[in-house]
Structure 1
Amino acid sequence: MESTETPVITIGLNVNHPNFNYSMTELNELVVANHMESIATVVQKLDHPDAGTYFGKGKIEELADLIRSTEADTIVANDELSPSQIRNIEAATKATVMDRTGLILEIFANRAHTKEAQLQVQLAKLRYQLPRLRTSSSQRLDQQSAGGGLANRGAGETQLELNRRTIEHQISHVRHELKELDRSYATQSQRRKENRVKTVALVGYTNAGKSTIMNQLVQRFGANEDKQVFVKDMLFATLDTSVRKLELPGHKQFLLSDTVGFVSELPHQLVEAFKSTLKEAATADLLIQVVDYSDQNQELMMQTTQQTLQEIGVPDLPMITAFNKADRTESRFPDRAGENLIMSALDHASIDELATMITDQLFADYVQKTYLFPFQAGDLVSRFNQEFDVQSTDYQADGTKLTVSLPQEEAARYQKYEIE
């Protein structure tokens, strides 16, 4: 069967970047995630990018020869290029040029399913397109001025301004729609707080295994085992935030969310646009940072995660670090050290240990109390059995004695029934 992937040539400029090789590897993985295939890679080492063509003149000629001798008609650059750089490379090579930002935006556009995610991607694309209107508009201006002089040039300039105003209007409209969704989210969030529902958010580098961990936790502790989230060994396999309700032993309930994964050099348009997608992380009671323990670049991935969390305004929240995919290494697992866990999402013992760590962090405010409820307060006994961890029940002559583990805030509400 013939491959349906589009052949492309990936290019990158090494300006003494310590992680250049990894960024190129990641670019090729992003290309695969966009149903493309890199059939050749061209790199150059310079002190700084050429302002007009990104690469030096000789490399541009080499790139043009490569395009002519292969079936590729698309070039994907590892950096965000200026409109003039894109225009000049396309003129020299007769190929379509896509930069790293445009590539990620295209992946996101193809993967967004919820209305919120689609609006966020649309906003990011519009913000990306706005300063690049000059590229295509300049071409129209050249064509118009060649045939009609100053009158047509003026018409072209008017069209450019019209296009700019159109995009600015679209940006304003999308922002308004996102604000409406934010208001709806704020209502839901307030309801959760009123109901004292705790929340946990999975964060981390894309393809670190967040969705697999979520599925395993849902399978073990979820109300509906069929509510699995999509998993694929690919960058940005999932974009839409998924939220599931879990219940650990002792009626300890919480909401678990699987957020969009991070990537190095995430386009600033997406950082801004996806602040609302990542609000599940910003408002969580606990974060679980998932790290690919089998990847030699795990330190860089953790730095990227911390940097992105800071950029989107996530406060300094309690965090568990789950070093996942230990089954691909020689390490022993599960192995806990403080709030760090070496684990495998496919290992039941690892999931149990992670659940224990979640319990320790999320329900640290739980206290053990003993209450004596008179028989006429039978509704409270029923509620305690349904919502809290009742450890013992003793029916006495003057009422029902319960020893129970419950939140400190709840315990204070029933202080009048408390006994030693």
Structure 2
Amino acid sequence: MIDDDEFELRPDADGSYDTRTRDTRAWVVHPDIWKSGGNARKPELALEEAEALGHALPGLEVLGGTVVRLPKVHPGKLFGKGKIAELKAHFAAHEIELVLIDGPVTPVQQRNLEKEWGVKILDRTGLILEIFSDRAATREGVLQVEMAALSYQRTRLVRAWTHLERQRGGLGFVGGPGETQIEADRRAIDMQLVRLRRQLDKVAKTRTLHRAARAKVPFPIIALVGYTNAGKSTLFNHLTGAEVMAKDMLFATLDPTMRRIALPGGGPEVILSDTVGFISDLPTELVAAFRATLEEVLSADIICHVRDISHPETEAQKSDVEAILESLKVSADVPRIEIWNKIDLMPADERAALINIAERTEGVQALSAITGEGMEALISRISVMVMGDARVEQIELSYAEGRKRAWLHEQGVIEDEAQGEEGYQLTLRWTPRQRAEFDALK
């Protein structure tokens, strides 16, 4: 039997247990499928993440969740008869309307479970697609999500429509059944995908033109990547002064945001890019659809991998991010900074030890994007990396070229300046990028 603790209802913020129906009442089920060698993640933490995904979708009231341990997957219904009966009783008792299954569910399993339980079923991929659909704000984001959703729906078409076969003319043994409804639906989806792909190609061309324009007036691109809810947007806002949505919520940021900023302390100008967060078992449909957006990471000069170092599975999250970067074919040669964020959530003794380890580890910076601790060190590290190929040059500017001289002062690249009869003699320390930008000035 299932323990009551497994089905413990979550109290509201005020500590009460409000059972009024405000939104769709949902329950999360995490199938803990036994594998040889053991699971990489603890099922309780996986369930916690799945519940957080449910809370991230407006209109859902996630009442709680349970881990169901499975020695093997039952092909037709995923779970065994006894477990299905126990879950059915619980769902009926608490008037559950939607069950979120944290894992892949085949179309046949979904249909059978919905029939057994009398509720709607949504698997992990479907839930993530719903969240992305709700969050997409730009035209590109909307198109990408729609393409991913259609690709997913195409795989969910179950051969349950044989009664809707369209008959061709002629005798039965000559003509036979014509196009079935499932084939018609699949063809309609394929046509829609072609149309969306054409629209997305146009948007992608515009993005390519913007990228080419930036290349003409080059600024180093700093891309923030990381697991969802690692604090990328909070860090982005701290560095840029922008107001990108930053919440303690999975996938708070979906559409990429870019800002041109001058690093404090006379540092160079850079473009900072905030990207969509990654997650374990990210649907392949989404990876493919968002490849165009993530191309900003491919063109980055420095990649900042932001980690929630306070999370109990931070190492597993790191592996997930690195796997996705590898699947995107991001070169290992691109300089990287591993940012250990949220040190403010660590106990004092652990935080001190963590900062000490980070200081002795190359390419690692510990900080808190909320409190600002460690931010100056990060900015200094980025400045050194950007200016790493800086060289000293001497140039002359006429007195009429005041605009160029003002730009050099803004960049903070002037080390010495003297006035001559015809203009200024300047000693500069700058990067090839800054030199190219200077040459583009009129």
TM-score normalised over the length of structure 2? 0.83
Aligned position for 1:277: 293
Query: Residue 369 of structure 1 contacts residue 411 of structure 1 at CA under 8 Å; is this kept in 2?
Result: no
Aligned position for 1:290: 306
Q: Aligned equivalents of 1:141 and 1:69: distance in 2?
A: 36
1:186-234 per-residue CA deviation (whole Å, 9 max, x = no partner) reads: 1111111121121111000111110000101012xxxxxxx31111110
Aligned-partner residue type, residue 239 of structure 1: L
Root-mean-square deviation (Å): 2.7
SS in 2 for 1:385: helix
Aligned position for 2:331: 315
SS in 2 for 1:295: coil
SS in 2 for 1:245: strand
1:79-115 per-residue CA deviation (whole Å, 9 max, x = no partner) reads: 1111000011111111111101101000110010100
Q: Aligned equivalents of 1:311 and 1:103: distance in 2?
A: 22
Which range is displaced more, 39-48 or 175-184?
39-48
Of 368, 377, 387, 1:353 maps to 377
Deviation at residue 144 of structure 1 after TM alignment: 8.6
Per the alignment, do residues 270 and 403 of structure 1 end up closer, same or farther by CA in structure 2, a change over 3 Å counting?
Answer: same
Q: Are 1:247 and 2:259 counterparts?
A: no
Q: How does 1:45-124 map to 2 (within 5 A)?
A: 45-124=69-148
Deviation at residue 118 of structure 1 after TM alignment: 0.5
Per the alignment, do residues 95 and 246 of structure 1 end up closer, same or farther by CA in structure 2, a change over 3 Å counting?
Answer: same
Q: Are 1:202 and 2:224 counterparts?
A: yes
Deviation at residue 388 of structure 1 after TM alignment: 5.2
Deviation at residue 173 of structure 1 after TM alignment: 0.9
Aligned length: 398
Q: Aligned equivalents of 1:244 and 1:82: distance in 2?
A: 42
SS in 2 for 1:207: coil
Aligned-partner residue type, residue 296 of structure 2: E
SS in 2 for 1:323: strand
SS in 1 for 2:191: helix
Deviation at residue 375 of structure 1 after TM alignment: 5.5
Unaligned ranges ≥5, structure 1: 220-226, 415-420
Which range is displaced more, 91-100 or 12-21?
12-21
Q: Percent identity?
A: 31
Deviation at residue 38 of structure 1 after TM alignment: 3.3
Aligned position for 2:30: 12
Aligned position for 2:55: 32
Aligned position for 2:365: 341
Q: Aligned equivalents of 2:407 and 2:253: distance in 1?
A: 38
Aligned position for 1:418: none
TM-score normalised over the length of structure 1? 0.87
Of 185, 188, 203, 2:210 maps to 188
Deviation at residue 11 of structure 1 after TM alignment: 1.4
Looking at secondary structure, tell me which structure has more helix per residue: 1
Unaligned ranges ≥5, structure 2: 1-17, 167-171
Deviation at residue 3 of structure 1 after TM alignment: 7.0
SS in 1 for 2:45: helix
